[in-house]
């Protein structure tokens, strides 16, 4: 049985300010770096065979905390980047709601945003799911792979991998910073979710996964 850990990056100043990051390369802040170290101390007990990360620094630097404990080399994959939020990137969610109310209403309802250059949920789910499956192949039989990615990317990619519909996926709360999803795979049952939103107790309320 292969085990796949899909790990959201640590906190950033834009997370703390509810500002839309998308594919903007925002670094971890001091809290985020502490979260990464604390989470890595739990994840190292799973004896990962490989670590894969989004090439955006907040995910790659989160993965680096685990690499420092394991001695593993991090493989990066740009398909693991966060959802591209187009013209929303750099705005706070309050600004999006005020300046682009129709787009914001569709996002809140879990529908694709029309306009603004925001990536569709289907495109996001497919690219992240493809990357997760390729990452899983880096593990030997019975091994564990840890994948450091982003909030919306993790949830949509996992949902696509499991074959979940949009309404079913909306029942999952956003991943907290530096928390993860545990998936397993075997030839008889395929992919299954073993755990969701696992990690060290959060130090502050969870911002939207953008």
Quick: pLDDT tens for 10-47: 999 999 999 999 999 999 999 999 999 999 999 999 99
Report yes or no: 6 and 48 within 8 Å, Cβ to Cβ: no
Query: pTM here?
Result: 0.94
- Cα–Cα dist 72/119, whole Å: 32
Kindly state the average pLDDT of the residues 110-128.
96
Q: In 10 A of CB 169, how many CB atoms?
A: 17
Q: Which residues contact 138 (CB under 8 A, 6 or more apart)?
A: 49, 50, 52, 75, 145
- Cα–Cα dist 192/113, whole Å: 29
Residue 207: predicted pLDDT = 53
Residue pLDDT, tens place only, 78-98: 999 999 999 999 999 999 999
Residue 141 confidence class, pLDDT cut points 50, 70, 90: confident
Q: Has 167 been annotated as catalytic?
A: no
Q: Has 150 been annotated as catalytic?
A: no
Residue pLDDT, tens place only, 165-196: 999 999 999 999 999 999 999 999 999 999 99
Average pLDDT, the chain: 95
Q: Which residues contact 189 (CB under 8 A, 6 or more apart)?
A: none
- Phi, psi angle pair for 49, to nearest 5°: -95, -20
- Cα–Cα dist 150/153, whole Å: 5
Q: Is the confidence at residue 210, as pLDDT, over 70?
A: no
The single residue of 41, 78, 82, 182 carrying the catalytic annotation is: 82
Q: In 10 A of CB 36, how many CB atoms?
A: 28
Q: Is the confidence at residue 206, as pLDDT, over 60?
A: no
Longest dimension (CA), the chain: 51
The single residue of 9, 104, 150, 179 carrying the catalytic annotation is: 9
115: left (phi over 0), alpha (psi -120 to 50) or beta: left
DSSP string, 125-190: HHHHHHHHHHHHTTSPTT-EEEEEE-HHHHHHHHHHHHT--HHHHTTSPPPPTT-EEEEEEETTTE
Q: Burial of 185 by CB count in 10 Å (0-12 exposed, 13-18 middle, 19+ buried)? A: middle
- Cα–Cα dist 165/37, whole Å: 34
Residue 208 confidence class, pLDDT cut points 50, 70, 90: low
Residue pLDDT, tens place only, 148-165: 999 999 999 999 999 999
Residue 162: predicted pLDDT = 97
């Amino acid at each position: 049985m292969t085990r796949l850990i899909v790990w959201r990056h640590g906190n950033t100043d834009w997370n703390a300010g509810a500002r839309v990051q998308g594919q903007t390369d925002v670094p971890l802040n001091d809290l985020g770096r502490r979260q990464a170290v604390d989470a890595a101390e739990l994840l190292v007990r799973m004896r990962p065979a490989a670590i894969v990360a989004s090439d955006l620094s907040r995910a790659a630097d989160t993965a680096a905390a685990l690499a420092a404990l394991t001695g593993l080399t991090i493989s990066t994959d740009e398909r693991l980047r966060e959802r591209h939020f187009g013209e929303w990137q750099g705005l706070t969610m309050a600004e999006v709601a005020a300046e682009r109310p129709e787009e914001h209403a569709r996002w809140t309802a879990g529908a694709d945003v029309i306009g603004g250059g925001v990536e569709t949920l289907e495109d996001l789910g497919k690219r992240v799911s493809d990357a997760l499956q390729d990452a899983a192949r880096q593990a030997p039989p019975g091994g564990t792979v840890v994948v450091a990615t982003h909030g919306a990317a993790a949830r949509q990619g996992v949902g696509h991998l499991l074959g979940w519909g949009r309404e079913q996926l909306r029942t999952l709360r956003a991943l907290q910073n530096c928390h993860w999803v545990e998936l397993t795979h075997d030839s008889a049952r395929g992919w299954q979710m073993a755990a969701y939103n696992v990690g060290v107790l959060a130090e502050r309320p969870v911002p939207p996964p953008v």
